[in-house]
Amino acid sequence: MRARCAEAYAELRTGCPVFHTEAWGGFWVASRYEDVYEVGRDVARFASGPGAMLPPVGHGRPLLPMDADPPEHPEYRRLLLPRFAPAAVAGMEADVRDLARGLVDEIAGRGEADLYETLCKPLPMLLITRLLGIERDETFWAWTDTLIYGRVDGTSPEEIRAAADGLYGFLEGQVADRRRRPGRDDLISLLLQGDVEGRPYREDEILDLCFFLLIAGLENTAFGIRATLRHLAVEPGDRAAVLADPGLVHNLVEQSLRLYSPVTGLCRTATSDTVVAGQSIAAGERVLLLFGSANRDPAVFPDADEFHLDRRDGRHVAFGIGPHRCVGSNLARLEMRVAVEELLRRIPQFQLSGADPGWYDATRLDIVWDPEEVAR
């Protein structure tokens, strides 16, 4: 679907902007920008509580704060937002750059690398584990991979359960450790201070928040970095333009988010009988907000299927829309920008080593370059 998404999305938007499918127990799909915008912003008519991911992650627990509704939802965000606000994230830039530089330095002399394994995955992993105050551990990636992609690639429920148990077991240990030795400044310690309308967070809320922060910070960001670097590999004109004018990296990141939206879509559930774009939707029915299609809607973005390095198109909904909009968007943007800057700084000329794997898979990104042309 993602490979030919431009055509498929266009057919949906013009032919049947809100359509029903029987897949995964049945749900509606909203594909136009204006409908995604309307549903995403109206948390009274459309709840997240029954679960935003379709198909669900399969470990039987809510993904907090994404799967929460008022009164808990705004309280969870109240605690998290200051840590991810623009000023706080700007203060992380030196760290992110250090990490990215170290990763690029490791491959610079080789002349070839799989960028997905050497830069796109480890950068967000090093960062989110640092923010949570936990040691980097390759097992995380295996667990989160199983949880995110196992939903759609036929992984058995037992394997998914085992991955969730592994991750929750690890996080329980971390929470217990923070309770024994309070006073640290990491995100897990922060969650221990949370309250919902005056009552402290329960243990299960703390664990569900930790769990989601870890997976939200890893896979989507790795996907976004990979799609952006792959774009630079297959579009040497855009790469040359960014090298000539480094300020263009902001537009590069926004266009990449818009066209290669890492999160294709998320669900809401109607709280009462309602209507979207003339289509009746019954209470309890689910609506998938197709962010990937909204971001290619020509009603909002002229020439919507093209990559415009001269435009920012800041209204895209790659980070969602409304009260659940991504808490980590500033950080994700920073990681994507710095990954590009640090790669181009040392390895300005590179190309794919084989056939184009496309932007749409979370798989290898093999590139080659001349080690003689590497900058010091």
Binding residues (CB under 6 A) for ligand HEM: these are 48, 52, 65-66, 77, 128, 213, 216-217, 220-221, 224, 262-263, 266, 291, 318-320, 324, 326-328, 331-332
Quick one: 291 or 350, whose CB is closer to ligand HEM? 291
Least gap, CB of 333 to ligand HEM (angstroms): 8
**Which is nearer to ligand HEM, 239 or 324 (by Cβ)?**
324
Element (H, E) at 258: helix 249-259
**CB closer to ligand HEM out of 113 and 336:** 336
State which residue has the least CB distance to ligand HEM.
328
Question: Given the complex with ligand HEM, which of 37 and 350 has the nearer CB atom?
Answer: 37
Structure tokens of 15? Answer: 């032919």
**Amino acid residing at 226:** R
Q: Where are the alpha helices (DSSP H) in 85-191?
A: 86-90, 93-108, 115, 122-132, 138-149, 157-180, 187-191
Strand partners, 19: 29
Q: Which two tokens stand for residue 93?
A: 């830039």
Closer CB to ligand HEM, 30 or 331, in the complex: 331
d(CA 301, CA 258): 10
Least Å distance between CB 332 and ligand HEM? 3
Q: Which is nearer to ligand HEM, 147 or 327 (CB)?
A: 327
* Count of alpha carbons within 13 angstroms of residue 335, beta-carbon side: 30
Closest CA to 300 of 342, 360, 331, 258: 258
- Shortest Å, Cβ 109 to ligand HEM: 29
Look up tokens 């993602």; give the residue: 2
The smaller minimum CB distance to ligand HEM, of residues 326 and 368, is found at 326
Q: How far is the CB of 335 from ligand HEM (least distance, A)?
A: 7
d(CA 105, CA 283): 55
User: Cβ of residue 53: shortest distance to ligand HEM, in angstroms?
Assistant: 9
Report which DSSP code applies to 74. H
Main-chain dihedrals φ then ψ at residue 125, nearest 5 degrees: -70, -45
Cβ 54 to ligand HEM, closest distance in Å?
11
CA distance 229 to 369: 14
Q: How far is the CB of 266 from ligand HEM (least distance, A)?
A: 4
